[in-house]
Chain A
Amino acid sequence: MSSNTLDKLPIGATATVTNVQGDPQLQQRILEMGVLPGVQVQVVRYAPLGDPIEIKVMGYSLSLRKAEAKHISVEVSS
């Protein structure tokens, strides 16, 4: 188990969200899309140019920029 932010995870990594911060508007958007503490996320891939990231959350695919992902704290499982 190790703490990190979502933008630092390698492809294929699975993690549990521990906190979502950032500008109130951004934070709200992230939370509404189902990325909130206790939820499991998986990094599926990075875009060909290295940004944005695609993650799987709540059974669907969500794309977000690294700058946004860095506000999402996660705990990597195994």
Chain B
Amino acid sequence: MTEAHRQDRHTVALMGNPNTGKSSLFSALTGTRQKIANFPGVTVEAKIGTTRFENSEITVIDLPGTYSLAARSPDERVATDALLGRIEGTPKPDGVIIVLDASSLDRNTYIATQVLEFGLPAVIALTMMDVAESRGISVDAKKLSEALGVPVVPINAPRGTGIADLKETLHRTLHHPGKVLELDYPEDFKRGVDTLHQELCDLGVKLGFKPVRPEALRLLVDGAGPFFDECEEVGGAEFTGKFFEIRERTAAGHSLSMVEAQTRYGAIGKWMQDVKQAEAREGRTKTDVVDGVLTHKFWGSLVFLFMMGLIFQSIYSWSGPLMDVIDGAFGALGDWVGGMMAEGALKSLVVDGVIAGVGGVLIFLPQILILFLFIAILEDLGYMARAAFLMDKIMSRFGLSGRSFIPLLSGFACAIPAIMGTRVIEDRNTRLTTIFLAPFMSCSARLPVYVLFIAAFVPKQEYFGFLELQGIVLFAMYFVGVFAAIPTALVLKKGILKSKVTPFLLELPSYKMPRPKAVGRVLYERGGSFVKRAGTIILAVTILVWAAGYFPQSDEIDAKYDAQLATLAEDSEEARSEIENARAGAHLENSYLGRVGHAIEPAVEPLGWDWRIGMAAIASFPAREVIVATLGTIFNLGGDQDEESATLREVVQNAERPNGSKLFNLATALSIMVFFALCAQCAATLAVMRRETNSWKWPIASFLYMTTLAYIGALVTFQVASALGG
């Protein structure tokens, strides 16, 4: 085989600041051949794709955008670990592409100086040259290349220019050893790094890897962080003692962060004198003009309120017809498949378990896609950062950040897109708190429960000619969740999720026209990842509840109703379906689910419930809106009930206990509504929580916390309402 024909494989890491066009470049390089790499123990992920150049196959790892390699949390450590090939299942890069935004080159170059100290073969991809030019800044790529000692290729990924050149340069670079960037650190600092590096190498055997010099620099400057914890664990007090001594000696009363930043930015400032020519421009940039309106005290607030109203309304109302289509299609599919199958367990599994389960997963897709359509457009536009800027003061009162606002607002439509939307929150603890709070926002699936019980038990009354009591109760139900979320947020942020400081240092990127391709990519990724990952868990839980409600099938019950059918005096459709519905109800009571309902009756009695409500609540854990259909079955109406059905409303109004007293009254109805407002009855939410936090800890905590809260809330509601004579 000749040299030219040999297939060679490489792996490169793609790094750079956020908002630099890094993901556009990744897409331009890899097209659709990409997958998500989940890193264990952290909440960030990277995308992996492949690109070809001649006979080479190059794997590209798109690492999360970051301003620095300093690592105070495991999430921030990922970039360094990935760069050094220390993440299991992710290939070790033999080169790196650093993406730099020419329009704010000074700050962008900061991370380049850190990455180049690792000495990997590197290429700089220079983006946003057009934006820089429009501001009167011209960047000399050749001089930048001379300064940094690595090739620089100007690119425009959305237009596709420079990509071929970048690949060719990268290919060439990968065949030569990289060069370590040498910066002018003070002598004491260099000596400190060297001494610590030596100590780390001595520790290397126990660490399981050979620490490189830039890691020693990071450890020396950052002090605390995941790498320090790791070293402390294997090196014990002997290591930490030496570490603190070296650190103190090196710092000599100064701040090491300051030394690092001044050295790097000092070098950058010198280089830029040659690299960058800024033509003095009078007047304001387009972004300044737009911001004059969008962050204006009055107009900015008005636009913001309008945007939020629009997003909320759209998730709520646009998704309705689409959800109906999905619901109808799966109903029809179930009927069609059911019609071709013989009665029995298999038919019930396919129709009521699998088809209904898949439908139950896909029904959330319209809401997810609509929310992400807005988020993707606003993010690409640069508005999301402004929204956070506007809302930060209010959210910071609850220990959250401005970035938490949009996810929480969308939680009122559906917690799933809300949780997925928390990725924009940089601080890990703030993000976890927001994820935990999202299910407290009263989502649209709770509405059927409210509608049914409010219509049935809250009297129609008007105050002052326009305030409707039913409307007030509905509003109050929405408020219950918020009311529970506020102290939860404060407790979380003051307690276990306390961020020492929650820095709200937020870049306000320049406005850009949203690119349909980028928006489409976000929709495709978010929609796909929801269906694939969450879908499996939701489906499993749905089938589990189906089985609990189906088995054991009693022949006695069938015999009893068969006999009734046979002796039917008048053979009408109506009479038949009445008996069939009674049969379904009897089977459900006899099922494991029905038995569980009976078993927990003593526990739900203080809430004003009987076994039937208890069972319906349990059956609603996979998806809370199921309660309406379950109540339909249990009260022998058949499963095809919805919250608007007058019959179901009448039946719950008239349902009786064995002693003849009414099962439901206003107090019971309120207690059920409060329970549903607070309870974590959504397998999809828990599955998404697991996926986004990369741990079972959070969904389990959320489930236990919300269920307990729901129980207590319902208990208090019933007891108080009963005492008040409800």
Contact = CB atoms under 8 A, between A and B. Distances in A.
A32 B70 contact: yes
Contacts of B138: none
A25 B500 contact: yes
Given A32-B67, A36-B265, A48-B300, A64 B507 contact: no
Contact of B389 (A39, A54, A60): A54
Contacts of A75: none
Nearest to B225: A25
A22 B297 CA distance: 30
A48 B297 contact: yes
B245 to A, nearest CB: 18
B258 interface: yes
Given A24-B223, A34-B107, A63 B261 contact: no
Contact of B396 (A31, A54, A63, A65): A65
Contacts of B396: 51, 65
Contacts, number: 128
Contacts of A65: 392, 396, 504
Contacts of A59: 103-104, 106, 135, 137
Contacts of B504: 52, 63-65, 68
B106 A58 contact: yes
A44 B67 CA distance: 22
B506 A63 contact: yes
A28 B500 CA distance: 13
A1 to B, nearest CB: 22
Contacts of B394: 49
A26 B106 contact: no
Interface in A23-72: 23-34, 36-37, 39, 44-45, 47-52, 54, 58-65, 68
A36 B103 CA distance: 20
B507 A25 contact: no
B110 A32 contact: yes
A54 B295 contact: yes
Contacts of B508: 54, 60-63
Interface string B258-281: 101110010000000000000000
Given A25-B501, A28-B70, A48 B390 contact: yes
A58 B104 contact: yes
A20 interface: yes
B389 A32 contact: no
A43 to B, nearest CB: 13
A6 B265 CA distance: 20
A30 to B, nearest CB: 7
B107 A60 contact: yes
A37 B255 CA distance: 13
Contact of B500 (A23, A32, A52, A63): A23
A46 to B, nearest CB: 9
B104 A33 contact: no
B576 interface: no
A5 B297 CA distance: 24
Contacts of B142: none
A50 B506 contact: no
Contacts of A61: 287, 291, 507-510
Interface residues of B, number: 49
B594 to A, nearest CB: 54
Given A24-B257, A59-B103, A47 B390 contact: yes
A76 B216 CA distance: 38
B275 to A, nearest CB: 13
B389 A47 contact: yes
B340 interface: no
Nearest to A21: B255
A59 B394 CA distance: 28
B658 interface: no
A44 B287 CA distance: 12
A20 B261 CA distance: 11
Given A23-B500, A36-B262, A63 B110 contact: no
Given A63-B385, A64-B506, A31 B257 contact: yes
Contacts of B296: 48
A30 B508 CA distance: 15
B301 interface: yes
B724 interface: no
A53 to B, nearest CB: 10
B262 A32 contact: no
B400 to A, nearest CB: 13
Interface in B116-158: 135, 137
A31 B258 contact: yes
Interface centre among A22, A59, A62 (most CB of B within 10 A): A59
Nearest to B66: A32
B75 to A, nearest CB: 14
Contacts of A36: 258, 261-262, 265
Interface string B221-234: 11100000000000
Nearest to A36: B261
A61 to B, nearest CB: 4
Interface centre among B137, B257, B291, B385 (most CB of A within 10 A): B257
A57 to B, nearest CB: 8
Interface centre among B70, B107, B298 (most CB of A within 10 A): B107
A63 B390 CA distance: 10
Contacts of B298: 48
A31 B256 CA distance: 11
A12 B630 CA distance: 63
Contacts of A31: 257-258, 260-261
A49 B304 CA distance: 13
A64 B505 contact: yes
B393 interface: yes
Given A26-B503, A58-B104, A50 B257 contact: no
10 contacts: A28-B70, A31-B257, A32-B67, A32-B261, A48-B296, A54-B389, A58-B104, A60-B509, A63-B508, A64-B503
Interface of B: 67-68, 70, 72, 103-104, 106-107, 110, 135, 137, 221-223, 255, 257-258, 260-262, 265, 287-288, 291, 295-298, 300-301, 385, 388-390, 392-394, 396, 402, 500-501, 503-510
User: What are the 8 closest A-B residue pairs judged by CB atoms, nearest first?
Assistant: A31-B261, A61-B508, A60-B104, A49-B393, A28-B257, A32-B68, A63-B506, A48-B297
